[in-house]
């Protein structure tokens, strides 16, 4: 019992000492700022601001790489670019459209069971690639700042390890090559901030990738301020509920995806309820400005593969410009989809080659010019990390092709397993809406 009390006492003393060290040496309070820099973080009292070309800059933008003219037209001013391929083209386009660019610098995620960062050969190559990238684009007028690593799983330790030493060396390298632009990193876990403040004090600001739990951020940071002084941050990704955090699951454990119309409501609510009222944040980036496969090919996309816009774009335009648009501005809008009168929450399980009819229900007046596309895809539930599936699954060839209507009659696939029925609705103004329903084919004969 005495040993336990001593151990707990030592742990509490250690936590107290760690908190004190972080609070005492937190780097964002007494830095001497060179106001001649193109971009820098300025602290006034307890408030931080991004200063760009001598003026306060508040981030209103998205994460992606395409459709910069469309982003500018709805009031956006920033794009975060994950990949550096064709970066010069993106930067030039951004400059034309008055869009500032946050450039991600790729870093392999930290893994305590991996010796990547302990090998000199690896860290030297990494350093060379970062040096080449920063030297090439440091003077581009569209550059806002560098983002060193995305969700890197920064270790929560007191003593620096090989990863932290490499991370710090890269921060210092970027600052040495380019003194005109800050360096940030994007993280998921807010707990990583404590270790970063202690071990990487030269980092200029933090980006939080946060979705369903955005409502907790402000209170979590307020609690953190008991131990650390305020630090500059922005939302490097925000949006609708992610597949990894969706609470509505089928009996075979796949997430039920919301309609694009429902997602648009989520974006607007996230911004108006939490982002707009957060006076400490340096801004936010909606996710994802473009088209990509992440779990499904529709989960996060603000555009479809042909460049049509979803209702989410109009939600962002509304909140960025403080305008209330009538529902008629968003077309088309989906209520829900039913298959033989049942929805996704009913755990739709069928036999192979059964004839089924799906019905799509829309909000408001149905425009006669709308067109409809129905598809069935295999579910990628068996991947090791199903929340970030990046390969589009195979299109089922067993469905009856009667696209073009709000009713879709199809035969269930012959092969047992999980599937999703997708429907896309198009208007003649370059907009689309989408919905999907998971179902399972069960072969009773096996």
Interval 11-22: pLDDT, tens = 656 655 655 555
The predicted structure's pLDDT at residue 20? 52
pLDDT on residue 259: 97
User: How many percent of the chain have pLDDT more than 90?
Assistant: 70
Q: Are 123 and 167 in contact (CB under 8 A)?
A: no
Whether residues 249 and 273 share a domain: the answer is yes
Structure tokens at 297: 């090919």
Residues 323, 377, single domain; the answer is no
Q: What is the pLDDT of residue 371?
A: 92
Domain for residue 6, yes or no? no
Is 153's pLDDT higher than 50?
A: yes
The reported pLDDT for the residue numbered 40 is 96
Among candidate residues 327, 342, 373, the one where a domain is terminated: 327
| pLDDT greater than 90 at residue 326 | no
Residues 287-301: what's their mean pLDDT?
A: 93
Q: Does position 6 have pLDDT exceeding 80, yes or no?
A: no
Domain of 153, CATH number, reads: 3.20.20.80
Q: Are residues 273 and 353 in the same domain?
A: no
Provide the pLDDT confidence category of residue 158 given band limits of 50, 70 and 90: confident
177 and 244 inside one domain: yes
Mean of per-residue pLDDT scores for the chain: 88
Q: Of 299, 327, 355, which residue is a domain's last?
A: 327
Token pair for 7: 């151990």
Angle, in degrees to the nearest 10, between helices 2-25 and 192-199: 60
* 296 and 434 assigned to the same domain: no
- String of b and e for 114-140 (b: at least 16 CB within 10 Å)? eeebeeeeebeebeeebeebbeebbeb
Q: Which range of residues forms the domain containing residue 47?
A: 11-327
DSSP H/E element including 334: strand 334-339
Residue 12 is predicted with a pLDDT of 58
Predicted confidence at residue 442, as pLDDT, reads: 93
Whether residue 318 is contained in a domain is answered as yes
Whether 325 shows a pLDDT value over 80: the answer reads: no
Residues 288 and 412 both lie in one domain: no
189 has pLDDT over 90:
no
Predicted TM-score of the model (pTM): 0.89
Residues 240, 372 within the same domain: no
- How confident is the model over 22-37, as a mean pLDDT? 60
Last residue of a domain, one of 327, 352, 375: 327
Indicate the helix (H) or strand (E) that contains 425: strand 417-426
Domains held by the chain: number = 2
- Judge whether 184 and 148 are in contact, CB under 8 Å: yes
């Amino acid at each position: 019992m005495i040993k336990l009390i001593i151990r707990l006492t030592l742990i509490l003393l250690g936590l107290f000492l760690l908190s004190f060290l972080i609070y005492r040496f937190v780097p964002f309070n007494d830095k001497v700022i060179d106001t001649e820099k193109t971009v820098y973080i300025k602290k006034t009292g307890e408030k931080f601001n991004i200063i760009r070309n001598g003026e306060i800059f508040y981030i209103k933008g998205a994460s992606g790489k395409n459709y910069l003219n469309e982003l500018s037209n709805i009031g956006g001013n920033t794009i975060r670019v994950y990949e550096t391929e064709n970066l010069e083209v993106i930067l030039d386009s951004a400059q034309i459209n008055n869009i500032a660019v946050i450039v991600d610098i790729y870093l392999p995620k930290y893994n305590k069971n991996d010796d990547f960062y302990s090998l000199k050969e690896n860290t030297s190559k990494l350093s060379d690639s970062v040096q080449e990238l920063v030297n090439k684009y440091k003077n581009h007028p569209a550059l806002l700042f560098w983002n060193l690593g995305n969700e890197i799983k920064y270790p929560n330790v007191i003593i620096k390890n090989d990863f932290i030493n490499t991370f710090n060396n890269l921060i210092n390298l970027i600052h040495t090559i380019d003194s005109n632009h800050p360096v940030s990193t994007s993280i998921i876990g807010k707990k990583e901030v404590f270790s970063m403040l202690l071990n990487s004090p030269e980092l200029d600001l933090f980006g939080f990738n946060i979705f369903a739990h955005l409502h907790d951020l402000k209170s979590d940071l307020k609690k953190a301020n008991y131990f650390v002084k305020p630090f500059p941050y922005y939302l490097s990704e925000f949006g609708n509920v992610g597949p990894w955090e969706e609470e509505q699951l089928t009996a075979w454990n796949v997430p039920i995806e919301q309609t694009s119309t429902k997602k648009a409501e989520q974006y607007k609510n996230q911004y108006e309820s939490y982002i707009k009222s957060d006076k400490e944040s340096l801004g936010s980036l909606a996710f994802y400005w473009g088209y990509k496969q992440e779990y499904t090919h529709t989960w996060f996309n603000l555009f479809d593969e042909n460049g049509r816009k979803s209702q989410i774009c109009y939600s962002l335009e509304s909140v960025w410009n403080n305008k209330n648009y009538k529902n008629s501005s968003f077309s088309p809008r989906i209520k829900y989809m039913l298959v033989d009168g049942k929805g996704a929450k009913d755990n739709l399980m069928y036999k192979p080659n059964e004839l089924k009819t799906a019905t799509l229900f829309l909000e408001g007046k149905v425009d006669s010019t709308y067109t409809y596309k129905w598809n069935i895809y295999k579910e990628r539930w068996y991947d090791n990390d199903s929340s970030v599936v990046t390969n589009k699954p195979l299109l089922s060839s067993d469905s009856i092709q009667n696209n073009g209507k709000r009713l879709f009659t199809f035969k269930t696939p012959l092969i047992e397993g999980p599937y999703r029925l997708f429907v896309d609705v198009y208007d003649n103004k370059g907009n689309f809406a989408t919905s999907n329903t998971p179902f399972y084919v069960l072969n009773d004969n096996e």
